[in-house]
Structures are given as structure tokens and as C-alpha cells.
Amino acid sequence: MKIRFLTKGKKKELLRNLEKNFGIEKPDFLFFETIRDIRIFTGSVSKEDLGILVKNLQIQTMGLFFARREGGELRLSLDATHLLSKKIKKNILEISSVQKERWMNCESIEIEKSLKGIFIVKNKEDFMGTGKALNGKLFNFLPKERRTGNY
């Protein structure tokens, strides 16, 4: 795994994006990027010590998949929405319990036509990742292994 810590500029941009889109303030993680994704390390090891490990060990993966940037959009992972559940304040789309079943089966669900863009999906107190609202539908990015239909 190629690991690059986010530069100061990129980190600033990410934090701004998180705050602007989801109201998330000061997430306390170490951010790094792989080719497509932003990952986080939640541990309490300094960046320097992590750097030594990264340099000397053949690392398969590190930390947690946090978000994917695609076409200028930032899609938080399902697990990132769980870790940040208390900090997410904006662009939350509540779905019903019936919709939740369909969402977990990776179906897109009907929503108000006026909604557009990336939303954090929630049913009651459960955060369920990110979806994209377009033309009255909420599209789903759940990874295969997290869908009910696939189990």
C-alpha cells in the first residue's frame, strides 16, 4: 500500500470541506491518502514514528477507509459516519425503517426531487454511510460485503 500523509494544504481543504458539507468540526485523526481514497489513522502514534513503520515494513493496509473523492465530491465511508456520528450536523437525510432495509440491500431509494448532492444517510440513531441525491433518487455506495443481499 502506498501511503502519503496529506500535505498541510490538502488537509486544510479536507477539513474545510468536512465542515462546509457536514458540519464536522476538527476531526482528530491523522489523514493520509492512497490512490483513490482518504484514510485515517486514529491511533496515538506520532506521524514521525508512523513514518518509520511505513518505511520499514511491507504494509498491506493502515487505519480506516475514511472517504472517497470523486468528481469533486467527498463521500464519507459507512464506518467514518459511525466514528463521526456525534459530529455530523449538516446534510443528514433521514430515511424510514422500510427504506433502511432497502438501503442495506444497496437499492437506491426515492426522495424529494429538489434534493441534490451528497447526503449522510440516517435511520433513527443509525448512520448508514453516504448517498448521492439526484433526480428524486438517493444512490448508494455501500461496499458489496456490507449489503444484506450479498451475505
Residue 124 CB, nearest approach to another protein (Å): 9
Cβ–Cβ < 8 Å for 7, 31? no
Which residues, other chains included, contact 130 with Cβ-Cβ below 8 Å and sequence gap of 6+? 75, 76, 77, 78, 81, 118, 119, 120, 121, 141
Residue 19 CB, nearest approach to another protein (Å): 20
23: left (phi over 0), alpha (psi -120 to 50) or beta: left
Residue 120 CB, nearest approach to another protein (Å): 14
Tell me which residue has cell 456520528: 85
Among 11, 15, 73, 83, binds another protein (CB under 8 A): 83
Q: State the binding string over 25-44 for another protein (x if CB under 8 A, else -).
A: ----x----------xxxxx
**Residues at the site binding another protein, with contacts judged by CB under 8 A:** 29, 40-45, 50, 52-53, 56-65, 77-79, 82-83, 100-101, 104, 125-126, 128, 145-148, 151
